Structure formats: C-alpha cells, structure tokens
Chain A
C-alpha cells in the first residue's frame, strides 16, 4: 500500500516536471516578439525624443528633481537604501546630456528597425534603466511596461524577423555558422519561449494586482469609479462626461473592468476565452488612450497583450508572412 502511494507521488512529480519542461522549454518562433520589438523600440524612441524637447528640465543640473535630489531618493538618505543606480545622477553637463540623449534615440531606433539587434536591444534596455532610475517622480505605467518588454526582448532572437538583421542574413550571410548568434535564423528558439512565458506571467501579475487593488476601493464596488475616471480633468483628453447620464453603462463598465483585470490571469490561458479577454484589453486600453489622455500607455498595454498571440498566427497576417517563407512550425504549444 505504501509502495503504491510512493509510486503515485513519484509519478505525479514526474508529470509535473514534464509539464514544467513543456511550458518553458518548447522552442517557439519569434514573429510575435519581433512585432513587440518594433513597437517597443518605436515607443522608446518617441519617449526619448519627447524628453529631449525639455531635456534640461528633467535631467539637467537645475531639473525639477536635480541629480543630487534624485540620488537621495534611492541612496538611503531618507529611506532604506535601494539597489538602484544611474550614471545620470552624476552628469550635469548639457553637452554630455545631449550626446547621451542622441545615443539613446539612435539605440532605440536600431531596436525598432532590428539593426544589430543582439546589441541594440540590451543597450536600449540598459539606457532605459538609467533613465528610469534618474527620472523618479516623473514616471508612470508607460515606463514600467516599456522597460519590462525591453528586458524580455533582450534575451531573445527577436531580430530574426521583420528586421534589417534578417534582411542582411538573407542577402549576404545566409549560412554563416559564425554569425548564427548575431544574425539569428528564423527558427524556433527556447529563449523566445522562455521570454514569452515570463512576459505573459508578468502581465498576468500586473492585471491581478491591478484588479485586487481596485477591489479594495469603494467606488469600484458601487459602480461609480468609471464616472470619476471620466471626471478627472487632468487625465481627460476627450470628453467622456456624457457617460454621467447613463448610470447603467458606467456602472457596468466599472464592474466589468474589475472582473476582467482580476480574472485576466485565469481566463487568458484557455483558447476559448483568450480572444474575448484580448478584445476587452484592446477596448479598455483603447479607451484609456482615447479618453484618459494616456495614448502612449494605452498603446503599450495593447502591445504587451500581443504576447499572447501565437507566432504562427502573426506570420499569416497580410504582409507579415510572405517575406519569411522559411519559418517553421513548432509543435502545439498550448495545452489549454
């Protein structure tokens, strides 16, 4: 009897290990990551250009939060020290800051077009980290999402599709084994899968805690939160106050938002519910982009949700499949 119990437990553990292996280490194509690379690189380029339009107010010696004050927020002066560092705390020369800004824009552009991607993406992520640790106080969800996506993209061969790298490889160095890492072929990769899974779980965590936080509020329960979001003048970009006349509409939207955010982490995995959850994500974040003045954040959240799109589906989209004739199928990746 005891032997059977032990056998059953060992069998259960073996199955668990196999499921873990399948979930994390099944090679995956990189088309989805390539699309996300283009969008993230584009958004990083845009944020660096916008920052450049008022550079000294944010990074200069007399910035809103000057370099010394920014450092003091992290180095233990006023709170337990954080494991945070930025070389931008030590730079106050306008010339150096302008050169650095130009460098950041070029690196992000390289990430977007997929030029020397294996170097450009880690560099873009690192430069972005230096910015976010310097710009404490001026950041919001947009910066969290772009930094997160760049972090996962940098460990993948996301330059293998829709990139200058892919074009160079096809044209000149098709079969060069020496350049396999630098100009990755469009083959399924374990690292693409690891990064995809991490990004998916990260996104699930974001929504879960977003939903749990809302569930602590009173206005998300009594149905008026959506009205108060619409009534926030500083966020407003298009007038949504007409919704005040339709309590059934704003209350339903309020409850749906909490439900969708909280249960996103469960309902995004089954293939039957995934399209509904993704469509809701487009509507919620599209609404934030159009009405609540955060077009950049709304756009990047929609981009982040693309991580749940299968690469096989992406490559069949008009204009995205024909170029990459050699893409190969991975085995079925989803169990659900």
Chain B
C-alpha cells in the first residue's frame, strides 16, 4: 500500500460523499429494469414506480432507462415494412425493410430492423368511440391515454412515409406493416417449411381491437384485451 499515493478519496469525508453518489447511481442502475419488469397492462407496480420516480430523470438522461428483456419473455415474430412505390408512369416496385442485400454492413441492416420493430411497438389501434362499452366511455384518463398513443404511432408512421417519399422522389408510396411469423418445429422438420416461406408473412391491418373490454388495474388475469391486439 505504501506505493499507492494518497488521494482525496482516501479521506473519510470524501469517501462519505462518494458513497452517497455511488448509492444514487446503483439506485438508477436497478430502478428502471425493476420498474419495467413489473409492468402490467396499465403501467408498472405502484411500489416499483415510486422507487423509480426520484431517480428517473438521471436514469433517462444517462441512457440507463432500459428493461434488458433480450429475446424475452419469448423469442417472437419479426416486424417488417413492405413498401410499394408507384411512379407517374404507373410502374411499381415493392421492397421489404429491412433487407440484407440493400442495407450493408450488418449494423446498418440492424438499425433498419430496429426501426420497423419500433413502429410495431408503438402501434395503437384507432379508437372508435361508438364501439366502446358504456363503462369504458366514462374512463377519461384511459381514453386520453389511448388517443395519445395513437397520435404517437401516427406521428412516427407519417415521418417514415415522408422519408420514403423523399427517397423515392415524390412517388406514391404505400407502407404496410408485416409480421414475419416463426416456423414451428413440426412444420420445419415435417413439412419442410422454410424460414422465409411466403405463408409466414402476414399483413397487419390498421383497425380497432377485436374485443370491447379494456384492462383495468387489479383485474384478475385473463380479463381485458391486449392493447396491442390486431384485427
């Protein structure tokens, strides 16, 4: 130890100050993943939300606000964009984003892949007020939240459409959300269905959710609809 020069950090006062900073940082490391892991259909658990709230700003600015749910809870389907471009002559061309042949190197491809997944994550079905049951119509907070989510999805979708129109120089662009479903083991081994079999690509339509009941905090499992459900 004699070789190690004395520094300010070896005085008790500085250690106390640094210990407080360390505890604050450790709090930020743990709080957001905990908050994320405890989320249900209507937000996180009140306890973990309260635990995260005081440190939230720091975690957000330092980009530590992640859930770390890699390939979880289960590996799922991929979400892509099918883009059809029609020019003034009536010629059309269809592309799928992401595309390994078009976007290279792999990191650039992956950035495009994350964008198409992001659009899917943001998806919120349009709200048709007339189709809502009476008890839900009175839930102003839920309705407002729904509208905000839908507006957010539309803002990002429209931004992507504008980008594509610029890239394809003003051509008529149609964008479809595509779900590329995973092939099961029996189909892969028995029926020899390939990973990129055309039957596995399903268009996700933009429409209201199929059921009328909406999730409420404290409801028993199995009651309520998944907000991200597709028709």
Residue A295 at the chain B interface, CB threshold 8 Å: yes
Residue A275 at the chain B interface, CB threshold 8 Å: no
Residue A228 at the chain B interface, CB threshold 8 Å: yes
| Most chain A CB atoms below 10 A, which of B22, B75, B108, B148 | B75
**What does DSSP make chain B's interface, helix, strand, loop or mixed?**
helix
Min CB gap A242→B, angstroms: 11
Chain B, range 154-172, C-beta contacts under 8 Å to A = 155-156, 159-160, 162-163, 166-167
Bound form: Cα–Cα A241–B159 in Å: 37
Chain B, range 75-102, C-beta contacts under 8 Å to A = 75, 78, 80, 98
| Most chain B CB atoms below 10 A, which of A77, A142, A213 | A213
Bound form: Cα–Cα A148–B152 in Å: 28
Min CB gap A279→B, angstroms: 20
Say whether A64 contacts B160, CB under 8 Å: yes
Say whether A209 contacts B182, CB under 8 Å: no
Say whether B71 contacts A225, CB under 8 Å: yes
Contact of A228 among B4, B25, B34, B74 (CB under 8 A): B74
Q: Taking CB as reference atom, which chain A residue is nearest B157?
A: A69
Bound form: Cα–Cα A330–B1 in Å: 7
Bound form: Cα–Cα A228–B75 in Å: 6
Q: Taking CB as reference atom, which chain B residue is nearest A63?
A: B163
Say whether A229 contacts B75, CB under 8 Å: yes
Chain B, range 52-79, C-beta contacts under 8 Å to A = 56-58, 60-75, 78
Given contacts A83-B57, A210-B68, contact A133 B63 (CB under 8 A): yes
Min CB gap A276→B, angstroms: 21
Bound form: Cα–Cα A295–B106 in Å: 8
Contact of B4 among A194, A207, A231, A330 (CB under 8 A): A330
Residue A53 at the chain B interface, CB threshold 8 Å: yes
Residue numbers in A under 8 Å from B1 (CB-CB): 331
Bound form: Cα–Cα A46–B72 in Å: 28
Say whether A147 contacts B63, CB under 8 Å: yes
Bound form: Cα–Cα A27–B1 in Å: 9
Given contacts A69-B155, A201-B26, contact A21 B75 (CB under 8 A): no
Min CB gap B123→A, angstroms: 13
Residue B185 at the chain A interface, CB threshold 8 Å: yes
Say whether A217 contacts B25, CB under 8 Å: no
Contact of A220 among B33, B74, B103, B119 (CB under 8 A): B74
Contact of B22 among A85, A198, A294, A296 (CB under 8 A): A198
Q: Taking CB as reference atom, which chain B residue is nearest A226?
A: B75
Residue A12 at the chain B interface, CB threshold 8 Å: no
Given contacts A205-B33, A210-B68, contact A83 B58 (CB under 8 A): yes
Residue numbers in B under 8 Å from A273 (CB-CB): none
Which of B125-133, B188-196, B208-216, B223-231 has 4 or more CB atoms under 8 Å from chain A?
A: B188-196
Say whether B75 contacts A232, CB under 8 Å: yes
Given contacts A194-B22, A220-B73, contact A294 B195 (CB under 8 A): no
Residue numbers in B under 8 Å from A235 (CB-CB): 78
Bound form: Cα–Cα A75–B162 in Å: 22
Residue numbers in A under 8 Å from B98 (CB-CB): 234
Which of A32-40, A116-124, A183-191, A312-320 has 4 or more CB atoms under 8 Å from chain B?
A: A183-191
Q: What is the 8 Å Cβ interface bit string for chain A, positions 136-156, against chain B (1 contact, 0 not)? A: 111111111001100100000
Residue A57 at the chain B interface, CB threshold 8 Å: yes
Given contacts A217-B74, A220-B72, contact A144 B106 (CB under 8 A): no
Given contacts A21-B15, A232-B75, contact A137 B107 (CB under 8 A): no
Min CB gap B127→A, angstroms: 14
Say whether B73 contacts A69, CB under 8 Å: no
Say whether A82 contacts B188, CB under 8 Å: no
Say whether A244 contacts B188, CB under 8 Å: yes
Say whether B69 contacts A213, CB under 8 Å: yes
Say whether B106 contacts A293, CB under 8 Å: yes
Residue A78 at the chain B interface, CB threshold 8 Å: yes
Residue numbers in B under 8 Å from A182 (CB-CB): none
Bound form: Cα–Cα A190–B17 in Å: 14
Q: Taking CB as reference atom, which chain B residue is nearest A65?
A: B159
Bound form: Cα–Cα A5–B74 in Å: 50
Bound form: Cα–Cα A83–B30 in Å: 18
Chain A, range 65-103, C-beta contacts under 8 Å to B = 65-66, 69, 72-73, 77-79, 82-85
Residue A282 at the chain B interface, CB threshold 8 Å: no
Say whether B71 contacts A191, CB under 8 Å: no
Interface residues of A (CB under 8 A from B): 20-21, 24-25, 27, 46-47, 50-51, 53-54, 57-58, 62-66, 69, 72-73, 77-79, 82-85, 129, 132-133, 135-144, 147-148, 151, 187-191, 194, 198, 201-202, 205-207, 209-210, 212-214, 216-220, 224-225, 227-229, 231-237, 241, 244-245, 247, 293-296, 328, 330-331
Interface residues of B (CB under 8 A from A): 1, 3-5, 7, 9-10, 15, 18-19, 22, 25-26, 29-30, 33-34, 36-37, 56-58, 60-75, 78, 80, 98, 103, 105-115, 118-119, 148-149, 151-152, 155-156, 159-160, 162-163, 166-167, 180, 182-183, 185, 188-189, 195-196
Among all A-B residue pairs, the 10 with the closest Cβ atoms: A217-B73, A83-B57, A213-B72, A78-B152, A137-B118, A217-B74, A213-B69, A228-B75, A209-B33, A233-B195
